[in-house]
Amino acid sequence: MGPRAGTKEFIEGLKKRKFAKCQDVVVTAKGHELADLIDKTSFRQPFLVPSPEGLDLVVPPGSFTIRDVVDSVGKDRLVDVIDVQEQHDFKMSMADFFNWFYQEDRGNKIYNVLSLEISETRLSSTVVPPKPVRDLSLVNRCWPDESGHLSGEDCPEDDTRNKPEVLKFCLMSAGHSYTDFHIDFGGSSVWYHILWGEKIFYLIPPSDVNLDRYESWMESPDNLTEFLGDRCPGQVYQLRVTTGNTIVLPSGWIHAVYTPMDSLVFGGNFLHLHSVEMQIRIHEMEQRLATERRFQFPMFEKLHWYAAQLFLEQYQGDLDDQALPEFSHVESMRYLVQALARWYDKRRGSPYQAEYVPDNLTLPPRVLLRDFDRLIGQFYRVHCRRRGDSAGGKGAGNGGPKGGGIKLKIKRQPESKGSRKIVKHVIEQVDSITASSPKRNFDQRDSSATSSKQLHKYKKKPGKGLTAKKPNESSAAGKRRKTLSSSDNPVGINEGDSSASDEGIDVAKCTEDEQFSDKAKLREMRHPEQQQKLTTKPKSVASSHHNHQPSTAKQRLGKKLGLFKSSR
């Protein structure tokens, strides 16, 4: 294990390390180009803007000092101060921090202030974030202007604020300060402007592998003595930012920061639609790591409900190609609707539900989710048609016909093992009967009109069951046509018609075993009245064809079924 992060030995070792060149991942741009570049790249890479011109950025002049900060926020204001060498934080008043910062001998202490939020102070009027940041921020875009504060009974004491104010921070760092590797809360993106001083960033891209390494490193009890960069060889990029520079870091980027000299920085955090998936992944990682609430993005889930409402109101009912959102935004919204469904299922009925799910949405949460999911499905299909893909495919880029894919949880009554066996047995019985004689229909005949030659072939008329094949008109003279009624279908039988037909079923060609098996099965399925008739032998019928012992399969079948009586 190496030296503890933030110590003098650690800093000396850090300076000797070799890192990859930042030009491989960082895009240098002019202020007026930033907005277009963010849209074109979907904000996947860090941006360095050497000069504030074109950013529409407002910050105090370079002569602004820590004393001016104290005067603007108040000397009694308590701030969280990080002891760099011990890597822990504590509370200190602005007056005490100012006294320590400007004393000639600071001793062995190195203090770093990173969480002074200034939106509710006089200093706020002198700081305006870059315009691309303001335009992207979900808080600026969708948080309601008029919304009551959550009462202390409805949410924990450490988070009773309403609007999440995280876009304006003042960072005051003593020389040789070091902040170990971290991801900004909620996967938020970050803007920094160096008013004076210098910062060195050590950047690690948020690949799936690197995020897994980061989470594992965070869970390790030795993370203060293990340099995360050792787990990501060749993937740590060094970026030096000096006075007047502005950088914008995308969501999920893992970074550590070293401050070579005293520095005063203005910056802030913001969530946006380009990185909804990454933001939600980091938020859920924080839950797994049991991150303290004060280190999480305030009102994270609530903000995303408002974002879904904004998206729905903006695009619902308008599928014009000119107004169609970018495909990356549609994918982000698809991920969002799935996350909202999970969160709602988890928070519903909770004592703190009002903190996580807004009570002033224009639609009930479940209705909002349903409409939102349908809208996303429509956008997917439009994009797929334009790209020549199938709208019915699965996965990102194809979308399903039912939108983002919220899976409704439907509880079904459990089946007993006995019921499954019964159903299976019935299906097997039906299948076996159908397979052996799919079109056969046996019935008892009137003894006065029955002979051994009255087994015929049948054909099936569409929608009319089994019907005897019509006789040829030329051979129909002198032949009677009998119609026998069964319990299910009327069957017409032509006497003396034994001609073969592809459409009919020749009973005589069935095997003897099949016939006997059919007889037993059919008897079980017949009406009790028919069973009684079958057990009664018909009267003798004089026929020249039945003067001998039955020897053929069809004769034996007739005898067994009780349809015919031998002359013996």
- Residue 442 DSSP symbol: -
pLDDT tens profile 514-537: 444 445 544 555 555 555 544 444
Q: What is the pLDDT of residue 181?
A: 97
Is the distance from CB of 521 to CB of 430 less than 8 angstroms? no
Is the distance from CB of 95 to CB of 113 less than 8 angstroms? no
The tokens describing 123, both together, are 């200093």
pLDDT of 563 higher than 90: no
Instruction: Report the relative pairing of strands 47-49 and 27-28 from DSSP bridges.
Output: parallel
Mean pLDDT check: name the lowest of 47-51, 79-83, 195-199, 542-546: 542-546
CB contact set of 224 (below 8 Å; sequence gap of 6+): 4, 5, 87, 180
Is the distance from CB of 523 to CB of 561 less than 8 angstroms? no
Question: Strands, E, within 474-538: which ranges?
Answer: 481-485, 490-494
Percent of the chain, pLDDT > 90? 52
Q: What is the pLDDT of residue 395?
A: 39
Percent of the chain, pLDDT > 70? 64
Is the distance from CB of 501 to CB of 453 less than 8 angstroms? no
Q: What is the pLDDT of residue 318?
A: 54
Q: What is the pLDDT of residue 241?
A: 97
Torsion of CA 366, 372, 378, 381, to 10 degrees: -100
Q: What is the pLDDT of residue 558?
A: 63
> How would you label 24-33 residue by residue, b for 16+ Cβ within 10 Å and e otherwise?
ebbbebebeb
pTM beyond cutoff 0.85: no
Q: What is the pLDDT of residue 353?
A: 81
Is the distance from CB of 444 to CB of 562 less than 8 angstroms? yes
Mean pLDDT check: name the lowest of 105-119, 253-267, 441-455: 441-455
Question: Tokens 């520079």 sit at which residue?
Answer: 245
Bridge partners, 481 (sequence order): 494
| Residue 319, number of CB atoms within 10 A of its CB | 13
Q: What is the mean pLDDT of residues 30-40?
A: 94
| Residue 286, number of CB atoms within 10 A of its CB | 22
Q: What is the pLDDT of residue 382?
A: 84
Q: What is the pLDDT of residue 61?
A: 96
Q: What is the pLDDT of residue 158?
A: 38
d(CA 484, CA 469): 14
Domain ranges of the chain: 8-295, 300-387
Our CA angle for 357, 363, 364, nearest 5°, is 55
Q: What is the pLDDT of residue 327?
A: 82
Higher-confidence position of 162 and 71 = 71
Half-sphere exposure (CA, 13 Å, Cβ side) for 131? 11
Q: What is the mean pLDDT of residues 416-444?
A: 42
d(CA 104, CA 82): 20
Mean pLDDT check: name the lowest of 56-60, 275-279, 445-449, 517-521: 445-449
pLDDT of 291 higher than 60: yes
- Residue 326 DSSP symbol: P
d(CA 392, CA 399): 7
Question: Which among 153-167, 274-288, 469-483 has the top mean pLDDT?
Answer: 274-288
Q: Is 77 exposed, middle or buried (0-12, 13-18, 19+ CB in 10 A)?
A: middle
Q: Which CATH class is domain 300-387?
A: mainly alpha
Q: What is the pLDDT of residue 498?
A: 39
pLDDT tens profile 317-354: 655 555 678 787 888 889 999 999 999 998 888 787 88
CB contact set of 291 (below 8 Å; sequence gap of 6+): 185
* Residue closest to 249 by CA, chosen among 358, 143, 341, 136: 136
Q: What is the pLDDT of residue 110?
A: 96
Type of residue at 179 = T
The tokens describing 360, both together, are 């002033």
What does the mean pLDDT of the chain come to? 76
Higher-confidence position of 543 and 275 = 275
SS3 of 44-86: the string is CCCEEECCCCCCCCECCCCCCCHHHHHHHHCCCCEEEEEECCC
Q: What is the pLDDT of residue 216?
A: 97
* Residue closest to 237 by CA, chosen among 191, 200, 185, 267: 200
| Residue 565, number of CB atoms within 10 A of its CB | 18
Question: Tokens 């009102």 sit at which residue?
Answer: 299
pLDDT of 396 higher than 60: no
Q: What is the pLDDT of residue 107?
A: 86
Type of residue at 349 = G
Our CA angle for 189, 192, 121, nearest 5°, is 100
CATH dotted code for 8-295: 2.60.120.650
> How would you label 548-563 residue by residue, b for 16+ Cβ within 10 Å and e otherwise?
eebeebbbbbbeebeb
H-state helical runs in 106-173: 131-136, 138-142
pLDDT tens profile 166-212: 999 999 999 999 999 999 999 999 999 999 999 999 999 999 999 99
pLDDT tens profile 118-131: 999 999 999 999 99
Distance of CA 485 to the CA centre of its chain: 60
Type of residue at 90 = F
